[in-house]
Amino acid sequence: MSLENKVAIVTGGTSGIGRETAIQFASAGAKVVIAGRREEEGNAVVETIVKAGGTAMFVQTDIADEGQVKNLIEETVQNYGRLDIAFNNAGVEMTGPLVDMTEADYRKTFDINVLGVILSMKYEIPAMLKSGGGSIINTSSIAGHVGMAGASVYVASKHAVEGITKSAALELAGQGIRINAVAPAAIETDMIDRFAGKEGAEGREQLAAVHPVGRLGKASEVAKAVIYLASEATSFTTGISLPVDGGWLAK
């Protein structure tokens, strides 16, 4: 699953799944553009990649801001000449009873999880068409496949990502751009630390037990699935959502 001579963008690339995927993209031979709001963390990911012999740059980006997303794509093409792969990974969690959700909660969740994906694809697609095609992978969630009590707004946003992915895949199927999603369950990231507590916390142990495999997933495991979808190994695959869920959706 070589990505040699490919150029890849990773949004939300400063931590968690995005960080790990950016590093693995580079290890597979891609030039990587890390996008995110946190400059210090983004530059640290670049440094890690460069020290390992890879090529990377950071572009500070709020994916809910159209001007900044446009700039991200322009900076990528200006520096590396093309765009082949995009991992639209930036996202935010939102939990709590539906009756307690505010308009601000909704706007924040949908601006990042849904509008961010739409804006990213809006500018990624023309850049990919200029270089003959490409692969887009959106971060969904098992919450894009099933309901979850106490997370209605988040679940709604991830169902939206599933719909966007399928619809865009059909639009671009004949033009050399494949669009898929990856759907993780609970993965060991900062987001899970906030949601269920750090290692050893009762809530975290309970969450791990819900997975048939009996543990939380690792960011590296999701990254491998993303590389698979980005690579020529899936050249006949578009419009799917690939669960990386320890068996959660099989229940």
Convert the pLDDT of each residue in 237-246 to its tens digit: 999 999 999 9
- Residue 202 included in any domain: yes
Q: Which of 106, 123, 154, 228 is catalytic?
A: 154
* pLDDT of 139 strictly over 90: yes
Task: State the number of CA atoms in the 13 A half-sphere of 211 facing the CB.
Answer: 20
* pLDDT of 230 strictly over 80: yes
pLDDT at 247: 96
Q: What is the Cα–Cα distance from 129 to 65, expressed in whole angstroms?
A: 23
Beta strands 55-60; 134-139: pairing state: unpaired
Identity of the amino acid at 214: G
- Residue 11 included in any domain: yes
The parent domain of residue 169 ranges over: 7-250
Q: Which residue has the higher pLDDT, 165 or 190?
A: 165
Tens digits of residue pLDDT in 170-227: 999 999 999 999 999 999 877 766 656 566 556 778 888 889 999 999 999 999 999 9
Tens digits of residue pLDDT in 26-69: 999 999 999 999 999 999 999 999 999 999 999 999 999 999 99
Q: What is the Cα–Cα distance from 178 to 133, expressed in whole angstroms?
A: 8
> Whole-number mean pLDDT of the chain?
95
What stretches of 82-176 adopt beta strand conformation (E)?
85-88, 134-139
Total tally of structural domains belonging to the chain: 1
Task: Write out the two tokens for 117.
Answer: 């994906």
Catalytic residue list contains 154: yes
pLDDT at 201: 59
- Residue 2 included in any domain: no
- Residue 1 included in any domain: no
* pLDDT of 76 strictly over 80: yes
* pLDDT of 137 strictly over 80: yes
pTM of the model: 0.95
pLDDT at 108: 97
pLDDT at 71: 98
Identity of the amino acid at 201: A
CATH number of the domain within which 82 lies = 3.40.50.720
- Residue 57 included in any domain: yes
